[in-house]
């Protein structure tokens, strides 16, 4: 069963709505990796964390659609699934309130805030979480448990993951430089995105989802990219598309040598090197549990508003000669039409997730 995104909203360092984010992204605007927009307040101490405040900001942008969902389907048939990895860990260290640590806290917050009575859950599969949320939503709708799902992801800047990535020696104090011979490492950022998912004909279709697992190493992907390539093939098979039907790929593109090598190998196994690709993390930063959510939102915006300019790949231009060559999108690359796009997400533990969106 095909599900449709009937509306979406997002916030990140590049802007407080999808249009602004996309404009700044395609312009190659360089900013600090932090959301600076004012965020709505939350009175409940159980839910008063930055993740939820960013989600509420997104929710406020699509309020009419949420009201329509409740009127159309009822409160029991609308699910909520939200991806995250940090929730409120920094605030927990101060308050010792374990509710703030629950990976289901953001999803539960939205459910309670909207007065819904259906399913809710959190997803925490590292950087693939945002696409995994779509997979769960699809299963809920296919099974008849839900008629609509509010899906998305949110993660806030936190000392805990910053310390973790520093200990792994992959955290960079320079802007990330994916697929360059001069890789610098990752930049941690924050973001939130929400999607309204229904069985509708009008909207951007979730054509295919692909999931695999490396079972290779807890923090390093298998360099040959075999399972990541299988995830792309699985998504293509579900979408009933050939590689040549994909007009653009948003790469995971963390800017570490391990990820660059794996992803270049994986993409080159499936695609011929001509498909336009880019990593948007040099501009948005790596938003961890919300990374795949904000990148899917970028792909949604590319399709939904008939944008004729592709997200650029911002790096130093010195491609790593030791990995397969990819067709990295240059700044101001315009196209006649984009019909189908792919978004990749690969996380710790070898968790791979791929989504294909289409008009």
> Which residue among 12, 51, 58, 252 is the active-site one?
252
Q: Is 286 known to be catalytic?
A: yes
Contacts of 290 (CB under 8 A, 6+ apart): 83, 84, 129, 130, 153, 154, 155, 190, 191, 192, 193
69: left (phi over 0), alpha (psi -120 to 50) or beta: alpha
**205-358 and 3-198 share a CATH fold:** yes
Taking CA atoms, 198 is separated from 2, 80, 121, 135, 321, in Å, by 9, 12, 18, 13, 44
> Which residue among 127, 146, 287, 343 is the active-site one?
127
Q: Is 217 known to be catalytic?
A: no
- The fold adopted by the segment(s) 3-198 is Peroxisomal Thiolase; Chain A, domain 1 (3.40.47)
Residue 34, token pair as written in the block: 């932090």
SS3 1: coil
State the pLDDT at residue 96.
95
Residue-by-residue pLDDT tens, the chain, 359 positions: 789 999 999 999 999 999 999 999 999 999 999 999 999 999 999 999 999 999 999 999 999 999 999 999 999 999 999 999 999 999 999 999 999 999 999 999 999 999 999 999 999 999 999 999 999 999 999 999 999 999 999 999 999 888 888 888 889 999 999 999 999 999 999 999 999 999 988 999 999 999 999 988 887 889 999 999 999 999 999 999 999 999 999 999 999 999 999 999 999 999 999 999 999 999 999 999 999 999 999 999 999 976 789 999 999 999 999 999 999 999 999 999 999 999 999 998 889 999 999 99
> Which residue among 286, 287, 299, 343 is the active-site one?
286
Q: Is 127 known to be catalytic?
A: yes
Q: Are 69 and 141 in contact (CB under 8 A)?
A: no
SS3 19: helix
State the pLDDT at residue 164.
87
Q: Are 346 and 229 in contact (CB under 8 A)?
A: no
Residue 169, token pair as written in the block: 């020696």
Task: Tell me the C-alpha distance between 352 and 6, whole Å.
Answer: 25
State the pLDDT at residue 335.
92
Q: Where does 205-358 sit in CATH, by number?
A: 3.40.47.10
Residue 312, token pair as written in the block: 């650029």
Of the candidates 66, 59, 34, 25, the one whose C-alpha atom is nearest the C-alpha of residue 191 is 34
State the pLDDT at residue 302.
96
State the pLDDT at residue 298.
98
Q: Are 55 and 110 in contact (CB under 8 A)?
A: yes
Ranges of each domain in the chain = 3-198, 205-358
């Amino acid at each position: 069963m095909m599900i449709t995104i009937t509306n979406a909203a997002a916030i990140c360092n590049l802007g407080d709505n999808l249009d602004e984010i996309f404009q700044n992204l395609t312009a190659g605007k360089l900013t600090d990796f932090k959301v600076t927009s004012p965020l709505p307040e939350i009175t409940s101490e159980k839910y008063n964390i930055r993740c939820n405040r960013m989600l509420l900001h997104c929710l406020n942008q699509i309020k009419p659609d949420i009201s329509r969902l409740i009127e159309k389907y009822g409160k029991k048939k609308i699910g909520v699934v939200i991806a995250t990895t940090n929730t409120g860990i920094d605030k927990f260290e101060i308050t010792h309130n374990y509710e703030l640590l629950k990976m289901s806290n953001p999803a539960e917050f939205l459910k309670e805030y909207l007065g819904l009575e259906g399913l809710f859950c959190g997803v925490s599969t590292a950087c693939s979480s945002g696409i995994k949320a779509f997979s769960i939503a699809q299963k809920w709708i296919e099974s008849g448990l839900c008629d609509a799902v509010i899906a998305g992801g949110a993660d806030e800047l936190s000392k805990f993951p910053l310390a973790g990535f520093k200990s792994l020696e992959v955290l960079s104090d320079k802007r990330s430089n994916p697929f360059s011979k001069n890789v610098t490492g990752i930049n941690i950022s924050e973001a939130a995105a929400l999607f309204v998912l229904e069985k509708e004909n009008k909207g951007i279709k979730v054509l295919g989802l692909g999931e695999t697992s490396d079972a290779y190493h807890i923090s390093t992907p298998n360099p040959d990219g075999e399972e990541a390539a299988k995830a792309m093939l699985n998504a293509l098979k579900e979408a009933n598309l050939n590689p040549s039907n994909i007009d653009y790929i948003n790469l995971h593109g963390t800017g570490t040598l391990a990820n660059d090598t794996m992803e270049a190998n994986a993409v080159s196994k499936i695609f011929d090197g001509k498909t336009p690709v880019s990593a948007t993390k040099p501009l948005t930063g790596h938003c961890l549990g919300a990374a795949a959510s904000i990148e899917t939102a970028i792909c949604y915006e590319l399709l939904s508003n008939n944008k004729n300019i592709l997200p650029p790949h911002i790096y130093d231009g010195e491609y790593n000669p030791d990995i397969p060559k990819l067709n990295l999108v240059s700044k101001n690359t315009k196209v006649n039409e984009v019909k189908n796009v792919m978004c990749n997400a690969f996380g710790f533990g070898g968790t791979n997730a791929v989504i294909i969106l289409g008009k």
